[in-house]
Structures are given as structure tokens and as C-alpha cells.
Structure 1
Amino acid sequence: MTYETKPGVKIPTRENALPKRFYEAVDVVELEAGFAVHLDGRPVKSPARRALTLPTRNLAELVASEWAAQGERIDAPAMPATRLCFVAIDLIPDARDATIAEVTKYATTDLLCFRAPEPPELTMSQAAAWDPILAWAEETLGVHFAPATGLMPIDQDPVALQRVMHHASGLDTWRLTTLAHVTAVCGSALLGLSLIHGRIDGEQAFVLAHIDEHFQISQWGEDHEASERLARLRTELRTMGEVLRALDAAPDA
């Protein structure tokens, strides 16, 4: 269906609603407490007006690159590293226990443990992709998760769930925020922990989390909306991998 407007009347677009870019220069500035991103000499602040102080130069450079890449309008959804850092500063310190509990909750219905009963091509793809992660989690993290066929709830080992909680509890604010985000995007605490521990990278997390979608695309083709959605998720997870690499850099690097 098409809509007609009066001559000279423009229908607002998504871009029209975005805030205009108000700065020219983007710089990383070293502080006593870490690194800041400055826009025309002024420090970026979080939505809660807290100072955006980052623990490594690499992370500050990653955030700065997102601000520098903006055009005439500032598109916040296209700035995943910046958004993650805002969450880490504004929300996680007061919601640490709830965040750990949420990651553990995802583990009770972890994506990697729900296998399709058919067709054989999909079941084999899931097993080939996900079984190595389950084996790694048991060997490295000491958590045993049992896969099952179908959508019925699985009663996972309470000890395994407690250990997931323990591993999440041992993370600093930045890595816990990243774990929680990856877990939610993937529907899998095990993929989140695999990324945190360097077992997989962001691209692999995306592929492993979307085995079903890629199978459906191979059978029926890809529509435009699905393609855009998957592209956004791929960017999100790739960026989460970059955030972790930046955090692993030396504090003064």
C-alpha cells in the first residue's frame, strides 16, 4: 500500500529522528584513572551523566572509532561497543547479582542443549557445531550440560548451574557486562562463556548461535528483513569479541 502526501510534505524517516552530529574531532585522552573519549575536547558521558572512563587504551580507541564513524546523524544502535560501555558504567554496578542470576537462568534453557528431532541434516549440523562446546565447557569449566531433543524443559545438573554462576561471579564489571550481552543475543550462557574464555571469537559465536537460521535459509532462501537482522547480530557479536580483546590488552596499551 502506498500513501500520498500533499506537495512539499515529507514523511519523516528513521534518520530524521536521530540526533545530529555535534562534533568534529574525536580523541582518546589518557587520565589517571584510565582513558576517556573526547569530542571536540569534551569528554563523552554516559546517559546517566557518568564519566566514560575506560580501563585500556584499546577499548577507548574502539569506542572512539564508533563516534568517528558517525555521519550527519548519530546512530546509537550502530555503536555496540559504546552502548555496552554505557551499560557497564550506568547499570551493572547496581545490578551485579541480578545480572549473574540472569546469565545462570539462560543456562537452564541453553540453546546448545535443545536439538531438533529432524531433519537429519539439521540435527547433524547442530551436533557437529555444539557438541565440541559442551565438551570444552565440561573439561575446562567443570560444567556438564546434557543435550536433549525437542522443546520440553531439561532439568540440568544443579552443580553445573552453580558453577556457571561461580564463573560469572568471578568476572569484573566489563567482562560480566559482555557475558550478559552475548548470552542474551545468543540465547546461550555456554557460548557467552566460550567467548569470554577465548574458546571462540565473535564471528564463531554468531555462526554457532544461528545454526537453525542458516539451515532454514539454505532450504528456503533469505528474505530482506531476516538478512538485516542477522547482519546486525553478526556486527554485535563481532564487536563483543573486539571488546574482549581490547580489555585483555595491557592497561596502558
Structure 2
Amino acid sequence: MSKTFPKRFYKDVAVTQITGGYTVTLDGRTLKTPGKIALVMARKDHADLVAAEWDAVSEVINPAHMPITRMMNVAVERTPENRADLITEARRYGGTDLLCYRADNPSGLIDKQNQLWSPWLDWAAARGIELRTTDSVIAIDQDKAALDAIATTAEGYDDVALTLLVHLTAVYGSVILALAVMDGALAAGEGFDISRLDQSYQIEHWGEDEEAAEITAATRAETVTLAQLI
């Protein structure tokens, strides 16, 4: 059974400055999170992005088409009380980072991993996050200092940035790529492509399922959209 979405019930969308930051109003009424908390944002550009999504609604309100709003809802409603868990999650990803697990064949894939993945491990190492690589399927233990450096970096992020960091980390399968995107050293779309290197190599040789291609394209587009919050 297909889900029925509510119809657009408002005419005017506006960004309003209030105590504590900015909010979005629909016909003068403050936008709230699913938990009924006023969606107050510290940055006006974030509020502008949320407002643009609501203003773009033509007929029905489909949250799947509003990634910025969904991300800000989480950042405002859930992240403040879950910061420690999110920081721990980012640190944990460092122990199984995609970039650290290399193919042992074929040589073409090995070369591409060295070309596209190694520079970002070097980038991280220069920032105190030195992770080791392996071509084994067995997990390796990373140095505690490197994992602690990931946690320290995550601790320095505000609620929106921390929420986005953990989301990007999950999408990429790599906290290193996520940190590089958050730092502005790597574009979000390029980070997505790098994280899909293994899949791209397989597609080059065996082709791609049409439905899988659509899902990949949609995920990439959403990732690029969310990166506007940086």
C-alpha cells in the first residue's frame, strides 16, 4: 500500500530571526520538528535551505524530497542529547574505514585504490589520524591515538556538523572521506564517487542493474544537497 502524504496547507514560507537564531514560518506559524520542538537554527543560511525545501513543495509534503529539513530535525531534536554516542560512532568507523581495506587482486583495482584512496589516508595522517591498511578480510586494530584524534575532531563540531559528519561517514563507509568533506578539502560528490570505487570497477567489467543505478544516483544527489549545510 502506498503511503499518503499530506497536501501543502500553507501559502507563505519565510525565514524569521528570533531569540536563539532563525526559524522558518509557514503562514506565520513556526516550523516544528516531528517531536514538536521549534526548529531553531543558529545559521541563517541553514534556515534559508530549509525554507527553500518547503517553498518548493507543489502539492504534497514528502519528507523523502526534503533532506535538509530531515537533517536539521535530527540535529535540533536528537543530537544534543546523543552527542557522546555520535562521537563514539565516528571513532568506531575509524577502526573499519573503507579506505583501509584493500583488494589483493586484480591489479587494476589495486592500482585505482592506491591512486584514489591513499592520498586521503595521507591527508588524514597529516592531521594526526594515521590509519593502517590491509588486503586481508580480517579486521585490523588501529592505533588508539588515531581513533582518539577522530573523536577529538568530532567533539569540536556543533550539533549540525556532528550530525552531518556521522551521516556522511555512514554513506561513504569512511570517516576519513567524511572528515575531508567537512573540512572542505573534498567535494561531497567526489567523496561519494571515491567511496564507490569498488562498485564502479565491477560495473566497468560486468555492467550495472538499472534500479541499482537509480538508487546510487539518488543517494549521490542527496549527499551533495546535504553538503550545503557545511
TM-score by length of 1: 0.87
Match of 2:97 among 75, 98, 110: 110
What one-letter code is carried by the residue in structure 1 that aligns with 2:108? E
Indicate conservation of the 8 Å contact 1:63/1:81, yes or no.
Answer: yes
Q: 2:85 aligns to what SS in structure 1? A: helix
> Which blocks of at least 5 consecutive residues in structure 2 are unaligned?
none
Aligned residues: 230
Distance across 1 between alignment mates of 2:110 and 2:61: 42
TM-score, with length taken from structure 2: 0.95
C-alpha distance in structure 2 between counterparts of 1:104 and 1:73, whole Å = 39
Once the two structures are TM-superposed, the CA of residue 147 in structure 1 deviates from its matched residue by: 1.4
* 2:105 match: secondary structure: coil
Q: Choose 1 or 2 for highest CA Rg.
A: 1
Match of 1:231 among 183, 197, 217: 217
| Alignment-derived partner of residue 55 in structure 1 | 42
Q: Does residue 184 of the first structure (1) align with residue 209 of the second (2)?
A: no
Q: Please name the residue that 2:53 is paired with.
A: 66
* 1:142 CA displacement: 0.8
Give the aligned residue type for 1:47.
Answer: P
Matching of residues 152-231 of structure 1 within 5 Å: 152-231=138-217
Question: d(CA) in 1 for partners of 2:222 and 2:140?
Answer: 29
Structure 1 position 40 matched with structure 2 position 30: no
Greater Cα offset, 102-111 or 146-155: 146-155
Q: Which has the higher contact order (CA 8 A, sep 6+)?
A: 1
RMSD of aligned residue pairs (Cα, Å): 1.4
Which runs of 4 or more aligned residues in structure 1 lie more than 4 Å from their structure 2 counterparts after TM superposition? none
Is the Cα contact below 8 Å between 1:182 and 1:240 reproduced in 2? no
Q: Is the 8 A contact 1:205 1:237 kept in 2?
A: no
Q: 1:87 is matched by which residue type in structure 2?
A: V
In structure 2, relative to structure 1, the CA distance for the partners of 1:116 and 1:163 (3 Å cut) is same
Evaluate the alpha carbon distance shift between residue 71 and residue 220 of structure 1 in structure 2; reply closer, same or farther with a 3 A threshold. Answer: farther
Output the CA distance in 2 between the equivalents of 1:148 and 1:142: 19
Consecutive unaligned residues of structure 1, counting only runs of 5 or more, are 1-11, 245-253
Q: 1:26 to 1:165 in 2, by over 3 A?
A: same
Question: Residue 249 of structure 1 aligns with which residue?
Answer: none
1:222 deviates by 2.0
Q: What SS is found at the alignment partner of 1:38?
A: strand
